Amino acid sequence: MSTEWDLQICCMGAGYVGGPTMAVIAKMCPKIRVCVIDLNQAQVDAWNSPTFDLPIYEPGLPEVVKESRGRNLFFSTSINEEIARADIIFISVNTPTKTQGIGAGRAANIKNCELCARTIAEVSTTNKIIVEKSTVPVRTATAIRRVLQCNDKGLQFDVLSNPEFLAEGTAVKDLLKPDRVLIGGSQSPEGLAAAEKLVKVYANWIPREQILTTNLWSSECAKLVANAFLAQRVSSINSISALCEATGADVCEISRAVGMDARIGSRFLQSSVGFGGSCFQKDILNLVYLCETYGLDECAQYWNQVILMNNYQKKRFSEKMVSKMFNTVTGKKVAILGYAFKKDTGDVRETPSMFVARDLFEEGAKIHVYDPQVKREDMWQEMEYTCNMSPAKTPGLDEAIVTAPDAYSACSGAHALATLTEWDEFKTLDFEKIYKSMAKPAFIFDGRNILDHDKLRKIGFEVHVIGKPDPAAFTDL
């Protein structure tokens, strides 16, 4: 250990988890040297941007990075050197769902975690603590530990699990004031000592009673279960939204009434076009596969239904748009306001907007997308990965999906607009101006329940909302 620093931490992976997590550790622990390493030079260059134009959008993150970068926070592609000097190494790399082979479509691919472990074993010259930060299947630590134990240098590697519980858009807040920090480790004397060393890092700013220590397997499993429970709540209220539209009930009123029950609570009871992001679907599918692997078929079917309901909600929204617009959108301009999977992020992974855009494209619509943080190249990259569609392989896609510079140009001349991300700026748009610029009848499909629907109807829009009855279809509301 260097005499200049109390501790040296290295994080393998400069993405949505590794970058913000290490930036906050550096901010709160000025006597700890923190370096984030990545093979992607462009990614590292963006983290080192002199104007702090970081590779991910996260409120408050530039200020955190600015405070520590160059002091005790560094971003580098010097993989071997930084691993060799570190006392604690976080593995924070992507663990995507397998696309082929055994468990394809459900199991997590931990190839990147294994490659990290092999690199650590190869270049290390001192004992180290290895921390799983990536979301991984239960018992992944066994694989990592076996790879590390095969080193021929007599080195000791203690493996810990420290899953992240961040929500994009509030990641900095979640890191500074977390509900809990979870650290899992071997219950051997060496494992307990390693866990305590990591506990002391977080204890620089987090009360000890909020730092939970468990065995490795409980920690790995808890991350999957937490995301499964959150996604389950979203799918539960979305299933009720369909019932509300059919019966005349209002899903917002139901959510409020149900959420006031202290046993249930109000969070994650907002009906929408569906959940997205990198975690919920991937983690539930991972949980489904684990249940299947251990012969727990009923458990697997239970959790898989959360995914099926989410898919149903996205498809239901697209089909309602087409049916309400006289059963055809061929040749019609449709504005999509919001492409990120949620507000305050530029992340488009598994975003519901992509699936709605895909459905409308297949129906022949001309789609104009506006999102304040999403880049066109990110849209195409995710669409190719998830939907196997891209300008290169899908004729007409590049011309059919236009990215607009602002909401007003996206809506000008459109037959319909759909709000698919709950960006605050959409609530304050001049909808009278938008109405005048649109083809008539002008349709609004609110997939996030964020607009003033009565006001919009008075302007002249035909408004359809997730989980709310159509006033034209009921006489007794």
**For the residues 444-464, what does the mean pLDDT come to?**
97
CATH number of 2-206: 3.40.50.720
Compute the mean pLDDT over every residue in the chain, rounded to the nearest whole number: 95
Q: Provide the residue ranges of all domains of the chain, joining segments of one domain with +.
A: 2-206, 229-465
pLDDT of residue 475: 81
**For the residues 12-35, what does the mean pLDDT come to?**
97
pLDDT of residue 151: 79
Task: Round to whole Å and give the CA distance between 410 and 97.
Answer: 34
**For the residues 18-32, what does the mean pLDDT come to?**
97
pLDDT of residue 1: 46
* 279 part of the active site: yes
Q: What is the pLDDT of residues 158-217, one digit of tens each?
A: 999 999 999 989 999 999 999 999 999 999 999 999 999 999 999 999 999 999 999 999
**For the residues 295-308, what does the mean pLDDT come to?**
98
Please name every residue paired with 73 in a beta bridge, in sequence order, or none if there are none.
Answer: 34, 69
Whole-number percent of the chain with pLDDT over 90 = 87
CATH number of 229-465: 3.40.50.720
**For the residues 221-229, what does the mean pLDDT come to?**
94
Q: What is the pLDDT of residues 106-137, one digit of tens each?
A: 878 888 899 999 999 999 999 999 999 987 77
Whole-number percent of the chain with pLDDT over 70 = 99
Q: Which residues contact 123 (CB under 8 A, 6 or more apart)?
A: 79, 80, 83, 84
Spatial CA neighbour of 361 closest among 314, 402, 392: 402
Q: Which of 279, 291, 299, 387 is catalytic?
A: 279
Q: Which residues contact 384 (CB under 8 A, 6 or more apart)?
A: 390, 393
pLDDT of residue 107: 79
Task: Round to whole Å and give the CA distance between 75 and 35.
Answer: 6
Backbone angles phi, psi at 223, to 5 degrees: -65, -45
